[in-house]
Structure 1
């Protein structure tokens, strides 16, 4: 980043030590800001307050109104006097010139501000230990990658933006119920080099047209609002203890990066509806009953839909292996690790070869002992088994 000149300055939160005046950083798992110089612990005052839900339709209406986007103002560091700009999606981090923690206000950059957050519970050292155990447990990972896990590479603590959605849904559906029944059929098979006729029970499915209605209230459907990480990784970090959300307090951001939302509210609700649809389809399949289900038409209505905007903590890092970058994140509350990983094709090849040799050895043993011939000579009947899990067809969107 370069020093730039600008008359507009971003409002910056300061966290001076009550004992020596140095800039403080939040200590994960506590309610303290800790001074790196004198070690003094500065207590964070508890902010009482209810975590509110906001009406989605009203928010979308306000967001649709014309709004002038103001240019992002400069950030001024009081410690070294530098002026600079964060990346467009960052509102908390470090001064690029002196390393002091900086937390800027969010009101000047986004129409919706975070109203709640979960503070970090595990520190960087604990997060690194979780990552080491995770990567050491990966099958077929290259040795160079596991060596990285034992290094002291720095993790970055980041507060990522999330949306949560509540919605009351009513769904009408049309489909079919499938019930399994059996018929007896004559089939010819070869036994001991002779063709014989056997009677077997063959399953059939009787389909019956059905229609019905299901209802469900969804609470806190969580959708990541960051594009810095693949959605698949962010979704896999769940569950989060959202019942422990506290009112937004910038003290908990000191010493960490924090992002603005990059997924807008309407786009976030589209993702939430897809997640709700998957649950609604399971409800429909259960309501239809039977052994199999076909779902042809679905019409879902959403009402009393609300949202929250919150910040959740993760430890993040990346490493390069053979000119490709791999990212991983650690849930800053639970220590759950998710990420991208490379594979060692040599290890996979050796494992496949070992499996083939083992299968060949078992076959040779059974053949030499006559076990295979014995099992083929007897007349037996094996009742066919069926998966008791219900069938849920793929879903391509809501029908309104």
Structure 2
């Protein structure tokens, strides 16, 4: 994949080992490229750097036990998103809604990111993916498709996420259902208007008590740690390829924005619990057995809960259509596009009318035959 130079960062945050000039992250090379002498400053790979942290230990000691850091943030008064800015930037536009924002220095107790996925899709490729996505929206207005413009361009942003690992032990009480068939007699009226006696097979269920304990193991349950973007779109950007996570070296973030998390560690695990509900219930049903099952009650015990605070890369932009702002996002690892779009009610109405007319023609033809 072709390399692309990211925007410059604050003065001397990353200096070239050859000439001392500021360098920036080069997408596709996993290096910091010097724009003056061309030297590629390799980012060191840290072996076994992406580890898990003990969930309960961090909660007991306070989130600051996992590390704090001072950040210069820009909080959008329109959508509430809070992002970090490069040290030399005091004003910018919100990557999530396009509204101008102003940086303010403040110290916050935030768990430092442990790992991230570096940007792999260059900006130009992301822009082409957006245009292809827009062209495939049949019910989008034609004027929007012809425009295909991104208001303010694509901005590279790292979105905060939590991942959770845990072993679950679940005790349950339920019922096992076994099907059986009986012959049922009934009276009906035949074509001549006479009452006739008939029989049919009817399925019944015998229920038997069931109880037990099941085990589940969950690894890297992914939870978005902010609400700046609609959850359904963020989840639709998956998969990310989490096994390719690397240590959260700031060199990978050079030139990109990083959103601060607004969903705290404990709230994130509550969301992970919701993800675990379905698989746990499936395991219970498999343990009950039979033809069908009823789960009357169950209690889950979570053991050995660990977590990671990770950053995932997206290209985000806003585009304006008829005075409304719409957001699109591109997975900067795979090129997957998700986002909001306007609808052409003229196209929808015409399609509906054509469908109604087609049904009417088919019905008329059937009556003539």
Within the alignment, does 1:167 sit opposite 2:160 as a pair?
A: no
Q: 1:98 to 1:237 in 2, by over 3 A?
A: closer
Q: Is the 8 A contact 2:163 2:308 kept in 1?
A: yes
- The equivalent position to 2:47 in structure 1, one of 46, 49, 55, is 49
Gaps (5+ residues) in structure 2?
1-9, 76-80, 93-102
Q: 1:274 to 1:16 in 2, by over 3 A?
A: same
Q: Is the 8 A contact 2:151 2:319 kept in 1?
A: no
Instruction: Give the aligned partner of residue 188 of structure 1.
Output: 188
Instruction: Give the aligned partner of residue 91 of structure 1.
Output: 84
| 1:25-44 superposed Cα distances (whole Å, 9 cap, x missing partner) | 21222212234x54724222
Matches of 2:30 and 2:216 in 1, distance apart?
38
Matches of 2:317 and 2:26 in 1, distance apart?
19
| 1:301-322 superposed Cα distances (whole Å, 9 cap, x missing partner) | 0001101111111111122334
Within the alignment, does 1:242 sit opposite 2:235 as a pair?
A: no
Cα RMSD (Å): 3.3
Instruction: Give the aligned partner of residue 3 of structure 2.
Output: none
Q: CA deviation at 1:121?
A: 0.8
Q: Is the 8 A contact 1:161 1:225 kept in 2?
A: yes
Matches of 1:252 and 1:354 in 2, distance apart?
53
Instruction: Give the aligned partner of residue 353 of structure 2.
Output: 353
Q: Is the 8 A contact 1:94 1:257 kept in 2?
A: no
Instruction: Give the aligned partner of residue 28 of structure 1.
Output: 27
Within the alignment, does 1:59 sit opposite 2:58 as a pair?
A: yes
Q: 1:270 to 1:282 in 2, by over 3 A?
A: same
What SS does the aligned partner of 1:141 have? coil
Instruction: Give the aligned partner of residue 112 of structure 1.
Output: 111
Q: 1:344 to 1:200 in 2, by over 3 A?
A: farther
Matches of 1:368 and 1:181 in 2, distance apart?
48
Matches of 1:196 and 1:347 in 2, distance apart?
54
Q: Is the 8 A contact 2:14 2:251 kept in 1?
A: yes
Q: 1:200 to 1:333 in 2, by over 3 A?
A: same
What SS does the aligned partner of 2:43 have? coil
Gaps (5+ residues) in structure 1?
1-10, 76-84, 370-400
Within the alignment, does 1:138 sit opposite 2:137 as a pair?
A: yes
Q: Is the 8 A contact 1:174 1:211 kept in 2?
A: yes
Q: Is the 8 A contact 2:117 2:313 kept in 1?
A: yes
Instruction: Give the aligned partner of residue 362 of structure 2.
Output: 362
Q: 1:40 to 1:367 in 2, by over 3 A?
A: same
What SS does the aligned partner of 2:335 have? coil
Q: Is the 8 A contact 1:92 1:253 kept in 2?
A: no
Instruction: Give the aligned partner of residue 387 of structure 1.
Output: none
Q: CA deviation at 1:89?
A: 3.1
What SS does the aligned partner of 1:134 have? helix
Matches of 2:358 and 2:278 in 1, distance apart?
41
Instruction: Give the aligned partner of residue 296 of structure 2.
Output: 296
Aligned length: 339
Matches of 2:63 and 2:116 in 1, distance apart?
26
Matches of 1:311 and 1:268 in 2, distance apart?
15
Within the alignment, does 1:216 sit opposite 2:216 as a pair?
A: yes
Q: Is the 8 A contact 2:178 2:292 kept in 1?
A: yes
Within the alignment, does 1:258 sit opposite 2:258 as a pair?
A: yes
Q: State which drifts further: 194-203 or 170-179.
A: 194-203
Matches of 1:179 and 1:361 in 2, distance apart?
50
Instruction: Give the aligned partner of residue 128 of structure 2.
Output: 129
Instruction: Give the aligned partner of residue 279 of structure 2.
Output: 279
Matches of 1:214 and 1:132 in 2, distance apart?
48
Instruction: Give the aligned partner of residue 326 of structure 1.
Output: 326
TM-score of the superposed pair, with normalisation by structure 2: 0.80
Q: Is the 8 A contact 1:328 1:337 kept in 2?
A: yes
Instruction: Give the aligned partner of residue 201 of structure 1.
Output: 201
More strand by share: 2
Q: CA deviation at 1:297?
A: 0.9
Q: Is the 8 A contact 1:93 1:255 kept in 2?
A: yes
Q: CA deviation at 1:45?
A: 2.9
Matches of 1:107 and 1:304 in 2, distance apart?
34
Q: 1:368 to 1:93 in 2, by over 3 A?
A: farther
Matches of 2:186 and 2:168 in 1, distance apart?
51
Q: Is the 8 A contact 1:164 1:223 kept in 2?
A: yes
Matches of 1:275 and 1:135 in 2, distance apart?
31
What SS does the aligned partner of 1:27 have? strand
